[in-house]
C-alpha cells in the first residue's frame, strides 16, 4: 500500500465501511435465521401429511428440500474458527485485527504486534484496509453464499413439491 497522509476523511471512510460490513453480516444472520425457522415450521406442518397417499411424495420432496435449506442456513451462521492457527505477523496477508487470527496468541505477543502497528500511521491504515477486505471476502464467500443456497433450496423445494403434486393429481385423474 502506498503511504497516505492520515486524515479524518480516511478514518471516516474506513469506519463507515466497517459499519456497513457489520450491518451486512447482521442482515445475513437474520436472513439465515428466517430461512432456518421457515424450513423448520414447514417441515413440522408437513409431517402430518405423510400418511396421505396423494400428498406423500410431494411432502417427502418438500421435507428433503427444507432439510437442505436448514443445513445451508445453519452453515451460513456457524462460526468458522481454527483453534490451532498461529498467525505469521510478518506475512502481509495476516489480518491481526480479526479475532480469529489473534485468539491463539499470548497477550504479550498481541500487544507487541499492536504496538508496532499503532506507532506507524501507514501500518494502522494498512491493518484497517486488510480488515475491511477480509470482512468483505468472508461475507461474500461464506455468509451470503450459503444464505443464497438456503433461499434457492427453499424455492426449489416449493416448486418441486408443487410440480410433483400437480403430476400426482394428473396421474390420479387419468386412472
Cβ pair 38, 153 in contact under 8 A: no
pLDDT of residue 116: 87
Q: Distance between CA atoms of 108 and 106, rounded to whole angstroms? A: 5
Phi-psi region of 135 (alpha: psi -120 to 50; beta: other; left: phi over 0): alpha
The answer to the question of residue 60 being in a domain is yes
Using one digit for the tens of pLDDT, what is the confidence trace for 73-100?
999 999 877 777 777 767 767 788 888 8
pLDDT of 1 above 70 = no
pLDDT range class, residue 149, cuts 50, 70, 90? very high
The answer to the question of residue 3 being in a domain is no
pLDDT of residue 160: 97
The answer to the question of residue 160 being in a domain is yes
The answer to the question of residue 15 being in a domain is yes
The answer to the question of residue 143 being in a domain is yes
How would you label 16-47 residue by residue, b for 16+ Cβ within 10 Å and e otherwise? ebeeebeebbeebeebbeebbebbeebbeebe
The answer to the question of residue 162 being in a domain is yes
pLDDT of residue 58: 95
Q: How many domains does the chain have?
A: 1
Q: Which domain holds residue 163?
A: 8-174
The answer to the question of residue 1 being in a domain is no
The answer to the question of residue 2 being in a domain is no
Choose among 165, 173, 154, 172: nearest CA to 58: 165
Cα dihedral sign for 81, 85, 16, 92? Answer: negative
Q: Distance between CA atoms of 76 and 59, rounded to whole angstroms? A: 25
Choose among 128, 119, 94: nearest CA to 12: 128
> Which of 146 and 125 is assigned the larger pLDDT?
146
The vertex-1 CA angle with 124 and 131, nearest 5°, equals: 50
Q: Distance between CA atoms of 68 and 57, rounded to whole angstroms? A: 17
Amino acid at each position: 500500500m502506498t503511504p497516505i497522509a492520515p486524515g479524518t476523511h480516511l478514518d471516516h471512510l474506513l469506519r463507515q465501511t466497517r459499519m456497513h460490513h457489520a450491518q451486512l453480516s447482521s442482515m445475513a444472520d437474520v436472513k439465515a435465521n428466517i430461512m432456518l425457522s421457515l424450513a423448520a415450521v414447514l417441515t413440522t406442518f408437513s409431517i402430518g401429511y405423510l400418511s396421505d397417499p396423494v400428498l406423500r411424495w410431494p411432502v417427502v420432496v418438500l421435507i428433503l428440500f427444507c432439510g437442505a435449506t436448514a443445513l445451508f442456513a445453519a452453515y451460513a451462521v456457524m462460526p468458522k474458527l481454527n483453534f490451532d492457527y498461529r498467525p505469521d505477523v510478518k506475512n502481509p496477508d495476516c489480518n491481526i485485527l480479526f479475532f480469529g487470527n489473534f485468539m491463539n496468541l499470548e497477550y504479550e505477543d498481541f500487544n507487541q504486534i499492536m504496538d508496532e502497528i499503532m506507532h506507524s500511521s501507514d501500518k494502522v491504515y494498512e491493518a484497517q484496509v486488510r480488515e475491511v477486505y477480509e470482512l468483505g471476502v468472508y461475507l461474500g464467500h461464506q455468509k451470503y453464499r450459503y444464505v443464497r443456497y438456503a433461499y434457492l433450496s427453499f424455492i426449489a423445494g416449493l416448486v418441486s413439491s408443487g410440480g410433483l403434486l400437480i403430476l400426482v393429481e394428473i396421474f390420479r385423474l387419468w386412472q
